[in-house]
Amino acid sequence: MSDATLVIARRDAGVLTLTLNRPDSLNALNGPLLQQLRAALEEAAETQDVGAVVLTGAGRAFSSGGDLREGATSRPAGAESSGAGGFEDWSDRLRAVMECSRILHRMPKPTIAMVRGAAAGAGLALAAACDLRIASESAVFTTAFVKVGFSGDFGITYFLTRLVGTARARELMYLSEKIASSEALRIGLVNRVVAETELESTTATLAGQIGNGPRVAYRYMKRNLNAAEEGSLEELLDLEAQHLTRTRMTEDHKEAVAAFLQKRPAAFKGR
């Protein structure tokens, strides 16, 4: 399979769907796929006509995690030696593709993981980096890192701790048990679980609602939510005051007020 097909991008009515496209390996993550995913995410973050991004996998899995045969990075010369240069080179290459998680979390528009089948290791981390996770009943989640002697990457430590709490995150990381979709919903790892036949339609409905909503408001709402994870209450109050004042100046806000007074649905323009 050529590198050009490793991530399929499809845009429809304000929603960009990015599909990891290595179904024969359960969408295992290798260097070329991650490089293309990062480029697609960077473009999406800057594209005004994109109001929401859906990340999913082709075939019967979301992603089985890092490809142990190829790895997320090519093996730099001397990486197996004790020399600092080889270690640093490999670490820098890995950090570069790990930007995929940061962009999903930080881009100024909501991101949604549509999960069927396995979401393991770095694949789980990518799903956790999204704002929302919609899973089918077939979805299975596992951290997997300990089984291959790894400590974790792609932000798994950051995202799991914030989604399910530190005690549960430690359990998931240390024991590496497989979690069914029902249990993932119970502990807060996913937002919704739906039947396999309803996964795409449910995700499309939610993504369409967000993607065609007030995009400026969503941008600042996401900034507020991210700040709430890290900052103090005082800092968040300052941000909320600034961001609400900014959104009050948008055309979407004026349209929403007019629609409310006229008792009709609002037609948002994203500005």
Alpha helices in the chain (DSSP H): 31-46, 84-97, 99-106, 122-129, 156-164, 166-175, 181-186, 199-211, 215-230, 233-248, 251-262
Are both 137 and 244 inside the same structural domain?
A: no
Residue 125 forms part of a structural domain: yes
Are both 135 and 231 inside the same structural domain?
A: no
Are both 187 and 243 inside the same structural domain?
A: no
Are both 207 and 226 inside the same structural domain?
A: no
Which of 66-75, 84-93, 227-236 shows the highest mean pLDDT?
227-236
Q: Would you call 117 exposed, middle or buried from its count of C-beta atoms within 10 A (0-12, 13-18, 19+)? A: buried
CB 252 within 8 A of CB 229: no
Distance of CA 203 to the CA centre of its chain: 14
CATH number where 34 lies: 3.90.226.10
Residue 269 forms part of a structural domain: no
- Location of structure tokens 């009709």: 264
Residue 187 forms part of a structural domain: yes
| pLDDT of 74 strictly over 60 | no
pLDDT in tens, 187-223: 999 999 999 999 999 999 999 999 999 999 999 999 9
Query: In terms of pTM, does the model score above 0.85?
Result: yes
245: which residues sit within 8 A by CB, 6+ positions away? none
3-state SS string over 94-123? HHHHCHHHHHHHHCCCCEEEEECCEEECHH
Report the alpha-carbon distance of residue 192 to residue 186 in Å, rounded.
10
pLDDT in tens, 21-52: 999 999 999 999 999 999 999 999 999 999 99
Are both 206 and 226 inside the same structural domain?
A: no
Which of 147-151, 206-210, 250-254 shows the highest mean pLDDT?
206-210
Nearest-5° Cα angle at 251, 244 to 260: 85
Residue 96 forms part of a structural domain: yes
Q: Could you give the percent of the chain with pLDDT greater than 70?
A: 93
Q: Range of 232's domain? A: 215-262
Are both 141 and 234 inside the same structural domain?
A: no
- For residues 187 and 268, the model is more confident at 187
Report the alpha-carbon distance of residue 182 to residue 149 in Å, rounded.
28
What is the pLDDT confidence band of residue 85, given thresholds at 50, 70 and 90?
A: low
What is the pLDDT confidence band of residue 78, given thresholds at 50, 70 and 90?
A: very low
| pLDDT of 87 strictly over 80 | no
Are both 184 and 257 inside the same structural domain?
A: no
Are both 240 and 116 inside the same structural domain?
A: no
Total domains in the fold of the chain: 2
Residue 249 forms part of a structural domain: yes
CATH number where 242 lies: 1.10.12
pLDDT in tens, 163-172: 999 999 999 9
Are both 81 and 170 inside the same structural domain?
A: yes
118: which residues sit within 8 A by CB, 6+ positions away? 26, 61, 62, 63, 64, 139, 140, 142
Are both 255 and 172 inside the same structural domain?
A: no
Are both 202 and 229 inside the same structural domain?
A: no
Are both 201 and 230 inside the same structural domain?
A: no
